[in-house]
C-alpha cells in the first residue's frame, strides 16, 4: 500500500510508530514545521527521511501548506493531520473525493481548550471537517465515544495514543538508594515533572505553589524539561533541575528515584511514560482553569489521584505512606502493560488501514 503522511514534524516519540508503518507499507512523510521551530519548542526530531513542505500562516489563524507534492505520486491513502485551521488539509479532503485515494484525519478530534463544552456538543465546523475524511484516527476511546453521535462508528478508530512503553517496561530495576546518592538527591519523597515548559496551560504556577507549601526537607521535586516559560528553580534546595533529558539511561534513573509523577495541567503523553515507569500520577481536575489533554482519560482512581484544588492535593499527599505509594505504583505499571503498549497502537492503525482500502 502506498501511503502519504502529512504531519508537523517526526518527533522522536513517534519514531517507533512510524517505523512500524514503514515495515508494512510504502510510506512518504511530508512535514511542514521547520527545524528552527521544532528546536525552539524543545522537540527532538527523528532521522526518518521526510519531505519539507513550504507553509504560511495568515493572521496566525489559517495555515497554508504547499500540497503539490501529493499529486506527483499515486497514493492509496493519505493520512492528514487533523488541524482544522489548515486550509490545505480541507482542500486535500475535498480533492481526494475526486480520486480513488482514501483519506484519514489523525488528531484529538476535539478542542483541548474547549474540551468541557465540546464533549457535550462538538463544534459544527469540526463535525464537517471530520465527515469529509473516509476515516478518522482519534487518540483515545473517550473521543470515539463522543464522536459516535456524529459519525458511523466504522469510520472511527481509537489508536490508544502512546509511546514505546515496551522499552521502559523491560528496563532493569536499579537500587534507589544508590541512584539517589549518584544524583545527590537527599529528600525522602520525590515528585518528578517531565514536560516542555512551552505551554502556559501546564500551570507551572501550581507546581511552584506545591513546592512552596510542602516541607522542603522531606519532599523533593525532580524536573525534566526546558522552554521559554520555565521558572527559575535555583532558590529551592529541594528542586533538582536536570533540564531537557533525551538520554534514556539518565531519564530512567531519574524516574526510578522518584515516587510520584506530578503535572498540574495539560497532561498528555507524559502520563503514559510515568505509568510505564510505575509512577502514580497526581494532577488536577479538568476545568476552565486547568486544561487537560486527551491522555487524561488514562488516569483512574487505581493509578492516579485527581485533586479538586491545591489543599485537596496536599491533604492527599500527607495521607500517603510507602505502602500506599507502592500500591499505586504497581497499578500504574500494570495499566501501562495492559493498555498502553506501542504494539496495540500499531495494530489499531494497521487494522484500520486494511479495512479502509477494501472500500472502493
The residues, ordered by sequence, that sit 6+ positions from 144 with a Cβ below 8 Å of its Cβ are 138, 153, 156, 157, 158
- Over the stretch 51-90, which tens digit does the pLDDT of each residue have? 999 998 887 788 999 999 999 899 999 999 999 999 999 9
**Confidence check: pLDDT of 360 > 60:** no
Query: What distance in Å separates the CA atoms of residue 235 and residue 241, rounded to the nearest whole number?
Result: 11
| Cα–Cα distance list, 165 to 12, 51, 76, 339 (Å) | 13, 28, 30, 10
189-221: per-residue pLDDT in tens? 999 999 999 999 999 999 999 999 999 999 999
If you average pLDDT over residues 94-107, what whole number do you get?
94
C-alpha of 336 from chain center:
14
User: Bigger pLDDT: 11 or 200?
Assistant: 200
- Interval 341-350 mean pLDDT: 97
Q: Reduced to 3 states, what is the DSSP secondary structure of residue 49?
A: coil
CATH 3.40.50.2000 maps onto the chain at 2-162+341-356, 165-339
Cell of 206: 501550581
Q: What is the DSSP letter of 194?
A: E
CA-nearest of 104, 100, 123 to 7 is 104
pTM for this prediction = 0.92
Cell numbers describing residue 226: 526546558
Report d(CA 109, CA 130) in Å as an integer: 8
pLDDT of 38 reads 65
Cell, residue 310: 491545591
- Sign of the Cα torsion 190, 196, 202, 206 reads positive
Report the CATH architecture of 2-162+341-356. Answer: 3-Layer(aba) Sandwich (3.40)
Q: How confident is the model at residue 358 (pLDDT cuts 50, 70, 90)?
A: confident
| pLDDT at position 44 over 80 | no
In this predicted structure, what is the pLDDT of residue 359?
Answer: 56
Give the residue-averaged pLDDT of 243-258.
Answer: 94
How, if at all, do strands 77-81 and 102-107 pair? parallel
> Model confidence over 261-280: pLDDT tens digits?
999 999 999 999 999 999 99
CATH of domain 165-339: 3.40.50.2000
Q: What is the pLDDT of residue 47?
A: 81
pLDDT band with cut points at 50, 70 and 90 for residue 39:
low
The share of the chain scoring above pLDDT 90, in percent, equals 87
Cα dihedral: 307, 312, 315, 316 (round 10): -20
Q: How many helical (H) and strand (E) elements, i.e. helices and strands, does the chain have?
A: 14, 15
* pLDDT digit string, tens, across residues 110-159: 999 999 999 999 999 999 999 999 999 999 999 999 999 999 999 999 99
Residues 104-117: b if buried by 16+ CB within 10 A, e if exposed: bbbbbbbbbeebee
Which is nearest to 245 in space by CA: 264, 267, 226? 226
Torsion of CA 86, 89, 95, 97, to 10 degrees: -130
Amino acid at each position: 500500500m502506498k501511503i502519504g503522511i502529512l504531519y508537523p514534524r517526526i518527533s522522536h516519540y513517534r519514531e517507533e510508530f512510524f517505523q512500524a508503518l514503514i515495515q508494512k507499507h510504502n510510506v512518504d512523510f511530508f512535514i511542514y514545521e521547520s527545524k528552527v521551530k521544532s528546536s525552539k519548542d524543545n522537540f527532538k526530531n527523528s532521522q526518518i527521511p521526510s519531505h519539507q513542505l513550504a507553509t504560511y500562516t495568515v493572521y496566525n489563524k489559517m495555515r497554508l501548506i504547499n500540497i503539490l507534492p501529493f499529486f506527483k505520486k499515486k497514493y492509496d491513502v493519505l493520512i492528514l493531520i487533523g488541524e482544522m485551521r489548515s486550509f490545505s488539509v480541507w482542500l486535500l479532503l475535498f480533492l481526494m473525493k475526486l480520486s480513488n485515494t482514501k483519506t484519514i484525519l489523525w488528531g484529538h478530534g476535539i478542542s483541548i481548550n474547549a474540551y468541557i463544552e465540546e464533549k457535550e456538543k462538538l463544534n459544527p465546523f469540526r463535525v464537517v471537517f471530520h465527515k469529509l475524511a473516509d476515516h478518522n484516527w482519534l487518540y483515545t476511546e473517550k473521543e470515539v465515544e463522543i464522536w459516535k453521535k456524529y459519525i458511523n462508528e466504522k469510520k472511527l478508530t481509537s489508536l490508544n495514543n502512546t509511546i514505546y512503553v515496551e522499552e521502559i517496561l523491560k528496563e532493569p530495576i536499579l537500587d534507589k538508594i544508590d541512584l539517589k546518592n549518584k544524583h545527590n538527591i537527599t529528600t525522602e519523597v520525590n515528585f518528578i515533572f517531565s514536560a516542555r515548559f512551552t505551554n502556559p496551560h501546564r500551570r507551572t504556577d501550581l507546581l511552584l505553589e506545591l513546592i512552596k507549601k510542602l516541607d522542603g526537607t522531606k519532599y523533593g521535586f525532580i524536573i525534566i524539561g526546558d522552554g521559554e516559560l520555565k521558572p527559575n528553580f535555583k532558590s529551592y534546595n529541594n528542586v533538582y533541575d536536570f533540564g531537557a533529558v533525551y538520554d534514556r539511561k539518565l531519564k530512567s534513573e531519574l524516574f526510578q528515584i522518584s515516587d510520584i509523577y506530578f503535572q498540574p495541567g495539560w497532561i498528555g503523553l507524559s502520563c503514559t511514560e510515568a505509568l510505564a515507569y510505575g509512577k502514580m500520577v497526581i494532577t488536577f481536575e479538568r476545568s476552565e482553569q486547568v486544561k487537560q489533554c486527551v491522555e487524561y482519560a488514562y488516569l483512574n482512581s487505581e493509578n492516579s489521584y485527581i485533586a479538586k484544588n491545591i489543599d485537596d492535593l496536599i491533604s492527599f499527599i500527607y495521607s500517603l505512606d510507602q505502602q500506599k505509594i507502592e500500591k499505586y505504583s504497581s497499578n500504574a505499571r500494570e495499566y501501562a502493560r495492559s493498555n498502553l503498549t506501542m504494539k496495540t497502537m500499531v495494530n489499531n492503525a494497521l487494522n484500520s488501514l486494511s479495512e479502509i482500502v477494501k472500500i472502493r
